[in-house]
Amino acid sequence: MSGVDWPALKAAALAVQGRAYAPYSNYHVGAALLTADGEIIAGCNVENATFGATCCAERTAVFAAVAAGHLAFRAIAVVTNGAAPGTPCGICRQVLAEFGRDLEVLCFTPEGAEARYLLSELLPHAFTLK
């Protein structure tokens, strides 16, 4: 994975992780999305008492990016707490795939554990109407 300023993406994900609203699971997630034109857009998870209305950090970042006029993305960094880095859930993978299957994905923990993927590895058979 080259051409991506991973330290900047990681810093943005870490900064927004602290803003996560997770009173039910206490699972705080931060995500930083790199747009095709080099802008970093971050998002955190926001839980709800009904659980079904919860929005993951990755989707929060995508929705904020789309609202800001971005439809092409190069990479995403996702930070979770725990011994091993968590990967995006299935819904987030499908939402990300809507904008390109070659997205670079870095999952990491604040303690330094990392795992890197292409989105196509995480969701090899994404649904599409195209």
Residue 11 lies in a domain: yes
Q: 21 lies in which domain range?
A: 6-122
The per-residue pLDDT for 130 is 80
Identify whether the C-beta of residue 45 lies closer than 8 Å to the C-beta of residue 66: no
Q: Output the pLDDT for position 4.
A: 97
How many residues appear in the chain? 130
DSSP, collapsed to helix, strand or coil, labels residue 85 as coil
Q: Does residue 39 sit within a domain?
A: yes
> Does residue 76 fall inside a structural domain?
yes
pLDDT at 49: 97
Q: Which residues of the chain have pLDDT under 50?
A: none
Alpha carbon 64 to chain centroid, angstroms: 12
Residue 129 falls inside a structural domain: no
**What is the number of structural domains in the chain?**
1
Q: With beta carbons less than 8 A apart as the criterion, state whether 30 and 16 touch.
A: yes
User: What is the CATH classification number for the domain harbouring 24?
Assistant: 3.40.140.10
Catalytic position from the list 39, 58, 104, 121: 58
| Pairing label, strands 114-118, 73-79 | unpaired
Q: Is 98 marked active-site?
A: no
